Structure 1
């Protein structure tokens, strides 16, 4: 399993987490998504490397922006 954590700007509540989770789960290869609203992070799990651009686009589609890259 591969895990990457992305810093996301603008999430403030459980609804925000739901929107981000829904969009990121649509990215091919994603097996799990964990959103920590308080920390402003999204942890994405996959079995193979993911296309960072696809994850970034999914987060933007949910209405939020990445704060830097991933870790």
Structure 2
């Protein structure tokens, strides 16, 4: 299972790394591919995870979720 998270505020690889770290700490996330250039993260899930968990993790890294698909 995959989800794509659209994120505003990332400008570089360091930003993407911070978001990746926070997302991969969520229980159920097996991996996160984060791109500052594409302003998105694609997360692989072992099981369903509520969207508000992604929003909280991205906010913790200092950025804003603008959409989840």
TM-score, length of structure 2 as denominator length: 0.95
**1:47 aligns to 2:46 (yes or no):** yes
Report the RMSD for the aligned CA atoms in angstroms: 0.7
Q: Structure 2: give runs of 5+ residues left out of the alignment.
A: none
Aligned match of 2:10: 11
Q: Give the aligned length.
A: 69
Q: Any idea what the Cα deviations from partners look like across 1:17-70, whole Å, max 9, x if unmatched?
A: 110011111111100000111110011111211111111100000000011x21
Give runs of ≥4 in structure 1 deviating > 6 Å.
none
TM-score, length of structure 1 as denominator length: 0.92
Aligned match of 2:68: 70
